[in-house]
Amino acid sequence: MDKLVIDGGTRLNGTVSASGSKNSALPLIAASLLPGEGTTTLNRIPDLKDTRTFLRLLDELGADAAYDGEKLTISSRCIRCIRAPYELVKKMRASIYVLGPLLARFGRAEVSLPGGCAFGPRPIDLHLMAMEKLGAEISIQNGYIEAKTQQGRLQGARIEFPISSVGATGNALMAAVTAQGHTTITNAAAEPEIVALCDFLAAMGARIEGTGTSTLEIDGVATLSAVEFTNIFDRIEAATLLAAGAITGGSVTVTGADEHHMQTVLRKFRQAGCSVTVSNQNITLESPDVLEPTDVIANPYPLFPTDMQAQWIALMTQANGISQIVDKVYHERFNHIPELVRLGARIEIDGNEAMVYGPQTLTGTTVMSTDLRASACLVLAGLVARGTTEVLRVYHLDRGYEKIEEKLRALGASITREQYQEFG
């Protein structure tokens, strides 16, 4: 297994580039399975563990894919298999994205119940409800979702989500674009990743109105055409890199980032006393002498993202005062806090609220990652901690951050990747 070893206390300064977004890349890849002719080309696809897992899933289904670490080409002409096996799906919750495209293409699908990050209940009920609304019959057999249509083609419908869900919105979109008739999706997610998926599907020939709003109107088409498309940047990675500059008292510029996708996070950085400037898709953060305590409430886009909650808690351990962080998306996403306390943080938890008391002097020790964003949180804490911090189980980190230690080293961090034996 790999771990990251960090010698903290160095101010980070310099420029790094933002990678393509993981959270948009995976549904884009899944959409290549939809009915259509030709070869899909996707640019700016990040080289991540999740990307490689999804490509293995495509291979299992029969697609022909070639990937060079940036550009991905996919031909789904030879797909015959409709079964997404447990061995791959258990590694990544986003594998559920193949459910809609396989149903749309073949009228049936078998997808293992998903795995992924280990925090709280993350049900797939909304995905299944959307497929049922579109005419699929759903059953759970031996750990697999078995879905089929009676008429061989999904039927347009009205889908009303009780809560906004990025994953369920994406799956419903991919299923609906070739369904017969008209589909309305209400309380749809409006995250940039969903906008990117809408733009990709529209380029393929889908008829979608309301992109970027909470109501999507789709008129189904019989088939789509393969196109070339460029993925958006990863707003969570960009914000994490800016936080690395802020927590160490440095100055960091992230290139290739769209400020419009990060307005709430950038506003919070400014409230914390940081200077943030934007020019030509370059975002520069200069940290203050003293960070100000800043409350955040994690909510669906365009509000503060739950995927930055853990990193913000790490940052607020260095602020001069008390900060309150509330997560209204995932109420149990606080597995990183006990590990931060091991480093010397003072944090109190009450339900889905955390009170962070700062500034606290963190001292390096060995900590363990429990999920993707918790890993990033612990790396940030290690960057400012005195002495050496070892972050174990960084395979979680590799799911969503492309070569993160290389980017941090480019900014001046003392961070290395080493192998270790976890047991025995």
- CATH number where 220 lies: 3.65.10.10
Determine the pLDDT at residue 330: 82
The string of pLDDT tens digits covering residues 52-82 is 999 999 999 999 999 998 899 999 988 989 9
**Are 80 and 145 in the same domain?**
yes
The reply to whether 100 falls in a domain is yes
Q: Tokens at residue 22, please?
A: 């993981």
Q: 125 among the known binding-site residues? A: yes
Nearest-angstrom CA–CA distance, 173 and 197 = 9
Query: Pairing relation of β-strands 321-327 and 346-350?
Result: unpaired
| Number of other residues whose CB lies within 10 A of the CB of residue 384 | 28
pLDDT at residue 118 tops 70: no
Cα separations in angstroms, 301 against 238, 261, 312, 413: 16, 9, 16, 31
Q: 171 among the known binding-site residues? A: no
The mean per-residue pLDDT over the stretch 282-289 comes to 98
The reply to whether 313 falls in a domain is yes
Phi, psi of 39 (to 5 degrees): -115, 125
The string of pLDDT tens digits covering residues 384-403 is 999 999 999 999 999 999 99
Cβ proximity of 185 and 211 under 8 Å = no
Q: Tokens at residue 396, please?
A: 């979680």
Cβ proximity of 251 and 16 under 8 Å = no
Nearest-angstrom CA–CA distance, 26 and 54 = 7
The reply to whether 396 falls in a domain is yes
Q: 71 among the known binding-site residues? A: no
Percentage of the chain exceeding pLDDT 90:
89
**Are 143 and 245 in the same domain?**
no
Query: Mind spelling out the 3-state secondary structure of 237-285?
Result: HHHHHHHHHHHCCCEEEEECCCHHHCHHHHHHHHHCCCEEEEECCEEEE
Of 212, 230, 248, the position where a domain reaches its end is: 230
Q: What sign does the CA torsion over 109, 49, 9, 363 have?
A: positive
pLDDT at residue 34 tops 90: yes
The string of pLDDT tens digits covering residues 328-381 is 998 778 999 999 999 999 999 999 999 999 999 999 999 999 999 999 999 999
The reply to whether 314 falls in a domain is yes
Determine the pLDDT at residue 33: 95
pLDDT band at 167 (very low <50, low <70, confident <90, very high): very high
**Are 201 and 154 in the same domain?**
yes
Determine the pLDDT at residue 91: 79
**Are 220 and 254 in the same domain?**
no
Determine the pLDDT at residue 123: 66
Cβ proximity of 244 and 409 under 8 Å = no
Nearest-angstrom CA–CA distance, 217 and 219 = 7
Determine the pLDDT at residue 148: 96
Residue in this structure with the two tokens 């759903």, named with its chain if needed: 138
Determine the pLDDT at residue 120: 44
The string of pLDDT tens digits covering residues 184-227 is 999 999 999 999 999 999 999 999 999 999 999 999 999 999 99
Q: 123 among the known binding-site residues? A: yes
**Are 83 and 207 in the same domain?**
yes
Nearest-angstrom CA–CA distance, 217 and 184 = 5
pLDDT band at 115 (very low <50, low <70, confident <90, very high): low
Tell me the β-bridge partners of 278. Answer: 283
Cβ proximity of 194 and 166 under 8 Å = yes
Determine the pLDDT at residue 234: 98
Element (H, E) at 55: helix 49-61
Q: Structural domain tally of the chain?
A: 2
**Are 283 and 245 in the same domain?**
yes
**Are 47 and 93 in the same domain?**
yes
Determine the pLDDT at residue 14: 98
Round the average pLDDT of the chain to a whole number and report it: 94
The reply to whether 385 falls in a domain is yes
- Domain carrying residue 56: 22-230
Residue in this structure with the two tokens 């030879």, named with its chain if needed: 78
- CA-wise closest residue to 234 among 187, 283, 273, 274: 283
Determine the pLDDT at residue 82: 93
Determine the pLDDT at residue 92: 82
List 78, 81, 117, 377, catalytic entry = 117
Of 230, 256, 273, the position where a domain reaches its end is: 230
**Are 224 and 260 in the same domain?**
no
The mean per-residue pLDDT over the stretch 229-242 comes to 98
**Are 9 and 37 in the same domain?**
no
**Are 51 and 188 in the same domain?**
yes
**Are 202 and 345 in the same domain?**
no
Q: Residues 191-226, buried b or exposed e (16+ Cβ, 10 A)?
A: bbbbbbbbbbbbebbbebebbeeeebebebbeebeb
Nearest-angstrom CA–CA distance, 234 and 132 = 32
Q: 300 among the known binding-site residues? A: no
The reply to whether 199 falls in a domain is yes
Tell me the β-bridge partners of 279. Answer: 282
Q: 386 among the known binding-site residues? A: no
Q: 384 among the known binding-site residues? A: no
For helices 22-31 and 49-61, angle between their N-to-C axes, nearest 10 degrees? 10
Active site residue 274: no
Tell me the β-bridge partners of 355. Answer: 324, 348
The string of pLDDT tens digits covering residues 119-153 is 444 468 999 999 999 999 999 998 899 999 988 89
Q: What is the pTM of this model?
A: 0.95
**Are 144 and 55 in the same domain?**
yes
Determine the pLDDT at residue 116: 47
If you ran DSSP here, which 8-state letter would residue 306 be given? G
Q: 22 among the known binding-site residues? A: yes
The reply to whether 424 falls in a domain is no
Of 177, 202, 230, the position where a domain reaches its end is: 230
